[in-house]
Amino acid sequence: MIRIRAWQHVVNERLKLGHFKIPVHLAFGYEALAVALTGTLHSPDHVILPHRNIAYQLAFAKNPQPIFDELMLRPSGGGGGVLGSMNLAVKGSPVLYTTSILGNGLPVATGVALHQKFRGTGGVTFAVVGDGAIEEGACYESLVFAKSQGLPLVVILENNDQSMSSSIHQRRCAIDWRAFTASFGVNYLAARGHLPTECDSALAEARRTCVGHGSPVVLEVSLHAYNQHAGASPGWAGDQKAISLADGPFLKPYNRDPLFHSGLTDHAENQRLFWECLADCDEETLAIVEPLLPAASAFSLHAGA
Amino acid sequence: MPTLLESYQKHLAAAIDGRDFVVMGENVDNGSRISGLGKNLDKLSRTRVLNVGNCELTHVGAGMGMMLEGGNMVLLVKQLDFLLLGLDQMVNTLNWIRANARNRGKPLGSFTIITYICDQGYQGPQSSLVDLSGFCSLGSFPGFILQEYHQIEAVLQREVNRPGFRIIGLPQKFASRPVLQENAAYVDEANGVRLYGTEAETCIVSCHSSFASASDLRGRLGEQGRRASILLSAIMPGADPSLALAKQPDLRSVIIMDDAKGAVKWGDYVARKCLTRFPDLKLHFYERSLPQSFGVQPDEVAWDHSELFQPLSTP
């Protein structure tokens, strides 16, 4: 988890320097969910992601450089320099498709799951959608289709109470997803995205339920999006680009930061891991990062801070 | 002589029999089986026929997802305008699949949509969309309208089993009529062209559902002693259908015939190609005018030959 956080810091610092021609949607606060997904997947599983996919991409990556290169549209990028950020799928990763269109991913996910079912691969398709994208009619259609066909599909509903610069109550009525999914027999689970162990267990249960029941599952994950970065659609008007590598890995409010709940309470070990992650970057990146490396005191947070 | 629909049924079944295919559609295994589009497909080996709900956007997305995973799907749709709901998938998802081609770890599957084109008249202000080329243009993918027996066989055998995406249309007004049958003198698959006759001084380029009208016009010209050929042009953005004109050394004029309703037609694309490659050829247009009313009206095109026939028939 600290690795994803460190690498997102790197991208954020490069965004501040205007290094990318393309929009990059950072996902500070999504790290626990992304890590939990990597731990849940079985070999035949596939993942369908939305435009804000960087936490998942970094979680699946052993080395961040192909992703950094893709953001620079270099041929050495994970998508060959032609997919960019919102549509990135790194060859060899479980990510089969990413979409920048709200509501576009779930219909595709049903087709992938349909193929998995008919081929008997035992695989499950995990499709991530936000609380804004789920408003699209395609998502309702796809859930009904998936239930009707008994598809091995887990829909991860990232609920950060935000779509562009609107909260849910600013743009629509509330939806009780437990009651809504129950109305057509789709299993529902919930988890808090800043709690790593809860994400781990909820995703594992979602997969078990999906396979065991031969039916789709919706897992709603509440997330706190840390918007004060330099990436695209940062969130609320007035948000400052305050997130800085120099301040260390943790973000305020700490109690919603998954890194704070990651169990890494040994600040010396945190510091060592954080710097170790950054050492994977190329010389060009390191030249940007090194002057900003956080002071040791930035790793000294403790429970209750 | 079989009807156009019977010809389609025979050749689709032959194309997918013994191969792993999912055939999906609303009422595909019930009632008329989508006005005959799905008839007998449930009797084929290794073909799964799925009756599905009314959600065309999801159907198109599911086809894209299955293709992405290497599977093969035929989606049967009652009429072309229902597919407007699936345009996002035909444009955005398909673009992504093509952009990601070099990273794909496994071969792409095949996804074909087969739909009626409701041009049989009096459908009303809605349900009368006939412009397949508009879809193909937006998504830059091929489209085929089945009109002639050998073309039907060739298109279904080749396209349904080919990796990638396309739409195949059946003109509903011809579905129950005996199918036209004529051997092509020249076929250029890469540019979507079938050329009927070569010893011609006039070539009628038939676009959309105009093959029967083109045959009629060729007969009229023949009565006047004018030798005409027909170039049946599939909708293939990026292709050059005009290349086949070089096969006709005596050619002096080209008639672009297009019965689609839109302001921008496939025939216009072909005309540009013809003008660029053969600037000395005379070009005439038999194109449907824009609708004067959006209410109920016949979809059958009553071509006005008077304006063009005289200059064409004058040596």
On the question of a common fold for B4-174 and B186-313, the answer reads yes
Closest CA relative to residue B258, chosen from B247, B248, B268: B268
CA distance B219 to B28: 39
Query: What does the block give as tokens for B65?
Result: 């997802």
B157: pLDDT strictly greater than 90: yes
Domains and CATH numbers, chain A: 2-222 (3.40.50.970)
Closest CA relative to residue B93, chosen from B26, B141, B160, B42: B141
CA distance A22 to A11: 12
Q: Measure CB to CB from residue A114 to each of B22, B92, B99 and give the nearest one.
A: B22
Q: Measure CB to CB from residue A111 to each of B55, B63, B100 and give the nearest one.
A: B63
Q: State which H helix or E strand residue B222 sits in.
A: helix B211-223
A298: pLDDT strictly greater than 80: no
Q: What is the ipTM of this complex?
A: 0.94
Strand residue runs (E) in B30-134: 47-51, 72-77, 110-117
The pLDDT mean for chain A works out to: 92
The residues, any chain, with a CB within 8 Å of residue B104's CB and separated by 6 or more, are: none
How large is the average pLDDT for residues A172-200? 97
How large is the average pLDDT for residues A113-126? 97
Q: What is the pLDDT of residue B121?
A: 72
Judged by CB atoms closer than 8 Å, whether chains meet at A82 and B71 is answered as no
Lowest-confidence pick of A268-272, B248-252, B307-311: B307-311
Task: List the single residue in A with minimal CA-CA distance to B85.
Answer: A138
Lowest-confidence pick of A118-122, A261-265, B147-151, B224-228: A261-265
B202 shares contact with chain A (CB less than 8 Å) = no
| Peptide bond between residue B237 and the one before it cis (omega within 30 degrees of 0) | no
A291: pLDDT strictly greater than 60: yes
Judged by CB atoms closer than 8 Å, whether chains meet at B53 and A145 is answered as yes
Task: Decide if B49 contacts B41 (C-beta within 8 A).
Answer: yes
**Which residues in chain A are contacts of B92 at CB distance < 8 A?**
99-101, 104
B63 shares contact with chain A (CB less than 8 Å) = yes
Closest CA relative to residue B213, chosen from B120, B278, B290, B286: B286
Task: Decide if A125 contacts B77 (C-beta within 8 A).
Answer: no
**DSSP category for residue A133:** G
CA distance A145 to A141: 6
B105 shares contact with chain A (CB less than 8 Å) = yes
CA distance A259 to A273: 13
Task: Decide if A5 contacts A261 (C-beta within 8 A).
Answer: no
Task: Decide if A248 contacts A299 (C-beta within 8 A).
Answer: yes
Residue from A53, A112, A142, A153 to probe the interface with B (highest B Cβ count within 10 Å): A112
> What pTM value is reported for the model?
0.95
Domain B4-174: give its CATH code.
3.40.50.970
CA distance B262 to A168: 40
Closest chain B C-alpha to A67 CA, distance in angstroms: 14
SS3 A294: coil
- Model confidence pLDDT, tens digit, residues A213-234: 999 999 999 999 999 999 987 6
**Which residues in chain A are contacts of B70 at CB distance < 8 A?**
115
CA distance A195 to A35: 11
SS3 B77: strand
B46 shares contact with chain A (CB less than 8 Å) = no
Query: What does the block give as tokens for B5?
Result: 């629909």
Closest chain A C-alpha to B27 CA, distance in angstroms: 14
A114 shares contact with chain B (CB less than 8 Å) = yes
CA distance B230 to B211: 8
Cα B231 to its chain centre, rounded Å, is: 13
CATH architecture for segment(s) B186-313: 3-Layer(aba) Sandwich (3.40)
Query: What does the block give as tokens for B215?
Result: 């045959």
CA distance A267 to A244: 18
